[in-house]
């Protein structure tokens, strides 16, 4: 039996918001390709340590964790510095951290607007501006931003989220253009509904409003906008992230890649 073929041996990845959901799926998919990874996000320290250890043991890579509230500029800067110090470099930057709040614009709490813009958009700018010089010096980099279908279309009740995600799509295009001649790509993945804790909260509030079970709430949520009527999984998004880091994807840059069961085809 030969050694398993992996694509990203000797590469390193920093994935923000990767203690659960899509970010964890992407960190695991990159580690499965032989990449060292640094996790980031909130959660119970013992559970995070178990996630970190499991990645190292399952995929035979080095794995690290660093917390920090990415609503704060300094925490974003410190995160990239820590990743460079502990892994030696950041070859792959996955910006994935995100929160949601759903209420009509006229009632949208100002502090929620500020938090969503800071976490879902500004943190992406800060980690990119800190990680780019190293990528440029080495002449290789992959930047993947988790945007959303809401980077392409709107939905009621999501003023801050939709504004931030459209902002991520714009930032992605500019970073891609500025680095187009280098082997540094920057792309936005635009998921529709993915079954994660962030969406569970929306399923629960819908089920409560309709007076139905969580299963019925999930069906109603999917039926409204996602023609496939199936959730994507964090593993699906992880597989796309790994592809974007592969040699075959060197000319995919500045793209928005929907994984949305047809949502934005309508």
Task: Note the residues at the interface with ligand NAD (CB under 6 A).
Answer: 17-23, 41-43, 69-71, 96-99, 119-120, 146, 148, 191, 193-194, 196-199
Q: Which is nearer to ligand NAD, 34 or 116 (CB)?
A: 116
- Tell me whether residue 161 is one of the annotated catalytic residues: yes
Please tell me which residue in 59, 65, 161, 231 is annotated as part of the active site.
Answer: 161
Tokens (6 digits) for 239: 């597989």
Burial of 236 (0-12, 13-18, 19+ CB in 10 A): middle
- In 3D space, the residue among 249, 122, 138 whose CA is nearest the CA of residue 189 turns out to be 249
Least CB distance from residue 28 to ligand NAD, whole Å? 13
Least CB distance from residue 52 to ligand NAD, whole Å? 13
- In 3D space, the residue among 106, 83, 94, 118 whose CA is nearest the CA of residue 26 turns out to be 94
Least CB distance from residue 68 to ligand NAD, whole Å? 6
Q: Which is nearer to ligand NAD, 18 or 33 (CB)?
A: 18
Least CB distance from residue 248 to ligand NAD, whole Å? 24
Contacts 24+ apart (CB under 8 A), 153-159: 153/263, 153/264, 155/225, 156/104, 157/102, 157/103, 157/104, 158/100, 158/102, 159/105, 159/108, 159/113
Which distant-in-sequence residues (6+ apart) come within 8 Å of 112 by Cβ?
101, 160
Q: Which is nearer to ligand NAD, 83 or 199 (CB)?
A: 199
Least CB distance from residue 165 to ligand NAD, whole Å? 7
Question: In whole angstroms, what is the distance from residue 2 CA to residue 22 CA?
Answer: 31
Q: Which is nearer to ligand NAD, 86 or 264 (CB)?
A: 264
How far is residue 85 CA from its own chain's centroid? Answer: 22
Q: Which is nearer to ligand NAD, 88 or 109 (CB)?
A: 109
Contacts 24+ apart (CB under 8 A), 243-250: 244/142, 244/144, 244/185, 244/187, 244/189, 245/7, 245/8, 245/11, 245/13, 245/30, 245/33, 245/35, 245/92, 245/142, 245/144, 246/7, 247/7, 249/185, 250/183, 250/185
Q: Which is nearer to ligand NAD, 10 or 114 (CB)?
A: 114
Least CB distance from residue 261 to ligand NAD, whole Å? 11
**Catalytic sites, residue numbers:** 161
């Amino acid at each position: 039996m030969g050694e398993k073929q992996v694509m990203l041996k000797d590469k390193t990845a920093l994935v923000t918001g990767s203690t659960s959901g899509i970010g964890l799926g992407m960190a695991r998919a990159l580690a499965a390709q032989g990449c060292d990874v640094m996790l980031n996000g909130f959660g119970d320290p013992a559970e995070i340590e178990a996630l970190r250890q499991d990645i190292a043991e399952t995929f035979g890579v080095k794995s690290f964790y660093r917390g920090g509230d990415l609503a704060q500029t300094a925490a974003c800067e410190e995160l990239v510095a820590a990743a460079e110090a502990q892994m030696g470099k950041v070859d792959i930057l996955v910006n994935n951290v995100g929160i949601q709040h759903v209420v009509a614009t006229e009632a949208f709490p100002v502090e929620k607007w500020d938090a969503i813009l800071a976490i879902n958009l500004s943190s992406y700018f800060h980690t990119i501006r800190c990680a780019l010089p190293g990528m440029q010096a080495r002449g290789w980099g992959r930047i993947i931003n988790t945007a959303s279908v809401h980077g392409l279309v709107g939905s009621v009740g999501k003023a801050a989220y939709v504004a931030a995600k459209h902002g991520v799509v714009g930032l992605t295009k500019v970073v891609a253009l500025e680095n187009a001649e280098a082997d540094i790509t920057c792309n936005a993945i635009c998921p529709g509904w993915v079954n994660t804790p962030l969406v569970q909260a929306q399923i629960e509030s819908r089920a409560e409003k309709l007076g139905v079970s969580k299963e019925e709430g999930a069906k109603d949520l999917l039926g409204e906008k996602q023609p496939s009527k199936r959730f994507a999984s964090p593993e699906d998004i992880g597989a796309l992230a790994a592809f974007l880091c592969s040699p075959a994807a060197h000319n995919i840059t500045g793209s928005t890649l929907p994984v949305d069961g047809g949502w934005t085809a309508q």
